[in-house]
Structure 1
Amino acid sequence: MWLREQWGFPPGSEKDEYETVSEHRAVLSPSGDIVACGRIHLNSAEEAQIRHIAVDKKYRRKGVGQLILGALEVVARDLGAKRAVTNSRETSMSFFSACGFEIESKAPTELGKLKRKHMFKILVDNNVLILHPQWCKELQDTWHEKIPITEHMGIKLYQYTERTIETRASLNKNINLHGSMFAGSIFSQATLTGWGMIFLQLKQKDLKGEIVLGDGNIHYHRPITIRPRAICNIESVKARFDLLKANKKCPIELTVDIHDDDTSVASFTGKYWVIPPKKDEE
């Protein structure tokens, strides 16, 4: 209502072709009424666009807008975006500037008459450690090119420290009719996280081979309703890399812990094989 009413447009006119692939955030009053909202979607693997931030008049200038924007930036980082962009009207430019956004260029007019500026913000999370960024980018690209489901699920490599790998997925892209993540999506994220750990370990040891899943078992404890996280620690990895060096199949077992934000919700045990490359492929 706040988004279009002042311009004479009915509620719902703010919806567009990105509505179904966007993630939404809202702030509720003590009585349960929505008093602020916002939306975000990916323009590319590295850029997220923030749109439709609105705050009820009674709650303006109380930090609610910053709360919504901060929540949307968290979503952008979880999706792997390196920067956030927005097309801001003149009345909201000072708000976005105060939140770290900079003007980049002119933007198309809104509703055919409202002048806007294209603003951006580089997203930096000082608590996230990504070692060997070239390997990590190769892993992400390999997932998207050879395992397309990863992009559809919004699975991103979030952190790699040589000892730990963490992936995150989009709840919005994997949500079922109960408002939680599909069990199959949780299994897929866990499988790919283990696959990613092996991929990066092969890079670390300067080895090559084709990674395949032999068997996988998962135990679900609780549903995921907030933020899907999958974590694999090197301590859980049992591998015979010496066999791969001898040009033999290498068996690997590992464990992936699944979290909903900070709550443990499932445990996955996977048995993988690394098939050595043929001599003419080395």
Structure 2
Amino acid sequence: MFRVVTPETEEQLERYFTFRWTYLRQPWNFPPGSEKDEYEQVAEHRMLVNGQGEIVACGRVHLNTAEEAQIRHIAVHSDYHRRGLGQMMLGALENVAREMGAVRAVTNSRETSIDFFSSCGFVIEREAPNELGMLKRQQMVKKLSDPSSLILHPKWCKELQKTWAETIPITEHMGIKLHMYSGNTLETRASLNKNINVHGTMFAGSIFSLATLTGWGMLYLQLKERQLEGDIVLGDGDIHYHKPVTMKPRGICNVESLAGKYTNLEKNKKARFTLHIDILDGDNPVAEFKGIYWVIPPPVRENK
């Protein structure tokens, strides 16, 4: 399980900057403190933590102009490479940039990171000033206003939204929409106004439903990725509520939390999967959900 956290306390910020220095400055023999610059106070900082609260990735975004955001300092723990955490971190920063009103994101990429940013939709615009006076960089750009930049496999995502509407009508009543799918992360959002109780907060049952459908959607899309079919049903769900939802209900599911055997479906047997979903109110974690889902393969057609 991984989740995006905003470092706020002094202890969190110290850990965040230490992580940044360890992976982005120490390898070049630059001293502690060199990881900071004049934009720290006006930037938005994010870090990715594992189930034990340990930092596994970090990143930062700030506005250059009202429409342009600059993404910097993305780093991933060496023990967690090739697990999609860099894309997860970048996606979180892009979402922050959109919420700040940016329609374009720029990053000054080292030569070793160009392939990564290219795979995430960035293109080289021009040569950028060297970093630390020694590392050659290219400025890369991505349009954030393009809806397709939010969604991988838009056709599948449209089918998922339609399936929800036709087979799970509660999604329409709750205003649940698929907001983002990167292949690694699925984000859903719900209308607070359609799910508000007498206390001005979101119904606990609505939070449970948002979590359930977020996990259901991730499994649906992962089956599509593998060209598999089956009926998805919730077997069991366990949720822990920490805080009320008062502003912006969001469901986040990362593919790293998915566990199960697709080989059973390939053998036309039902398969059991577990998923972890985080419910947030804006950027604040408010609930954690663990779901057990079953996928029932379609009936075998007999040849006549």
- TM-score range for the pair, normalised by the shorter chain length: 0.5 to 0.7
Q: Indicate if the aligned counterparts of 1:232 and 1:257 stay in contact, CA closer than 8 A.
A: yes
Structure 1 residues 203 and 126, CA gap change in structure 2 (3 angstroms): closer
Q: Distance in 2 between matches of 1:157 and 1:228?
A: 12
Q: Distance in 2 between matches of 1:195 and 1:208?
A: 13
Q: Distance in 2 between matches of 1:125 and 1:223?
A: 33
* Residue in structure 2 matching 1:141, options 147, 155, 162: 162
Q: What is the aligned partner in structure 1 of residue 247 from structure 2?
A: 226
Q: What is the aligned partner in structure 2 of residue 46 from structure 1?
A: none
Q: Indicate if the aligned counterparts of 2:148 and 2:154 stay in contact, CA closer than 8 A.
A: no
The letter of the residue matching 2:248 is R
Is the partner of 1:226 in helix, strand or coil?
coil
Q: Distance in 2 between matches of 1:124 and 1:136?
A: 18
Q: Distance in 2 between matches of 1:139 and 1:243?
A: 23
Q: What is the aligned partner in structure 2 of residue 255 from structure 1?
A: 276
Q: Indicate if the aligned counterparts of 1:128 and 1:158 stay in contact, CA closer than 8 A.
A: no
Q: What is the aligned partner in structure 1 of residue 103 from structure 2?
A: none
The letter of the residue matching 1:137 is K
Q: Distance in 1 between matches of 2:147 and 2:263?
A: 37
Q: Distance in 2 between matches of 1:180 and 1:280?
A: 49
Q: Does 1:194 align with 2:222?
A: no
Q: What is the aligned partner in structure 2 of residue 74 from structure 1?
A: none
Q: Indicate if the aligned counterparts of 2:258 and 2:274 stay in contact, CA closer than 8 A.
A: yes
The letter of the residue matching 2:234 is L
Q: Deviating runs (4+, > 6 A) in structure 1?
A: none
Is the partner of 1:158 in helix, strand or coil?
strand
Q: Which digits, 9 at most, give the CA deviation of each residue in 1:49-107, with x for residues without a partner?
A: xxxxxxxxxxxxxxxxxxxxxxxxxxxx99xxxxxxxxxxxxxxxxxxxxxxxxxxxxx
Q: Indicate if the aligned counterparts of 2:202 and 2:246 stay in contact, CA closer than 8 A.
A: yes
Matches within 5 A, 1:116-135: 124=145, 129-135=150-156
The letter of the residue matching 2:179 is Y
Structure 1 residues 128 and 158, CA gap change in structure 2 (3 angstroms): farther
Q: Which digits, 9 at most, give the CA deviation of each residue in 1:202-248, with x for residues without a partner?
A: 00000000000000010000000000000000010001101110111
Q: Distance in 2 between matches of 1:166 and 1:152?
A: 18
* Residue in structure 1 matching 2:187, options 142, 149, 166: 166
Is the partner of 1:280 in helix, strand or coil?
coil
The letter of the residue matching 2:198 is L
What is the Cα deviation at residue 279 of structure 1?
1.1
* Residue in structure 1 matching 2:226, options 205, 226, 246: 205
Q: Distance in 1 between matches of 2:165 and 2:208?
A: 18
The letter of the residue matching 1:217 is D
Is the partner of 1:131 in helix, strand or coil?
coil
Q: Distance in 1 between matches of 2:300 and 2:220?
A: 20
TM-score using structure 2 length: 0.51
How many residue pairs get matched? 162
Q: What is the aligned partner in structure 2 of residue 110 from structure 1?
A: none
TM-score using structure 1 length: 0.55
Is the partner of 1:247 in helix, strand or coil?
coil
Q: Does 1:271 align with 2:292?
A: yes
Q: What is the aligned partner in structure 2 of residue 157 from structure 1?
A: 178
Q: Indicate if the aligned counterparts of 1:213 and 1:272 stay in contact, CA closer than 8 A.
A: yes
* Residue in structure 2 matching 1:240, options 261, 285, 296: 261
What is the Cα deviation at residue 125 of structure 1?
6.0
Q: Distance in 2 between matches of 1:156 and 1:128?
A: 16
Matches within 5 A, 1:42-81: none
The letter of the residue matching 1:192 is L
Question: Which residues of structure 2 form unaligned runs of 5+?
Answer: 1-97, 100-143
Q: Indicate if the aligned counterparts of 1:135 and 1:203 stay in contact, CA closer than 8 A.
A: yes
Q: Distance in 1 between matches of 2:211 and 2:160?
A: 15
Q: Distance in 2 between matches of 1:134 and 1:183?
A: 32
Structure 1 residues 209 and 234, CA gap change in structure 2 (3 angstroms): same
Q: Indicate if the aligned counterparts of 2:230 and 2:296 stay in contact, CA closer than 8 A.
A: yes
The letter of the residue matching 1:212 is V
Flag the structure with larger Rg: 1
- What is the identity percentage for the equivalent residue pairs of Structure 1 and Structure 2? 65
Q: Distance in 2 between matches of 1:225 and 1:264?
A: 12
The letter of the residue matching 2:192 is L
Q: What is the aligned partner in structure 1 of residue 128 from structure 2?
A: none
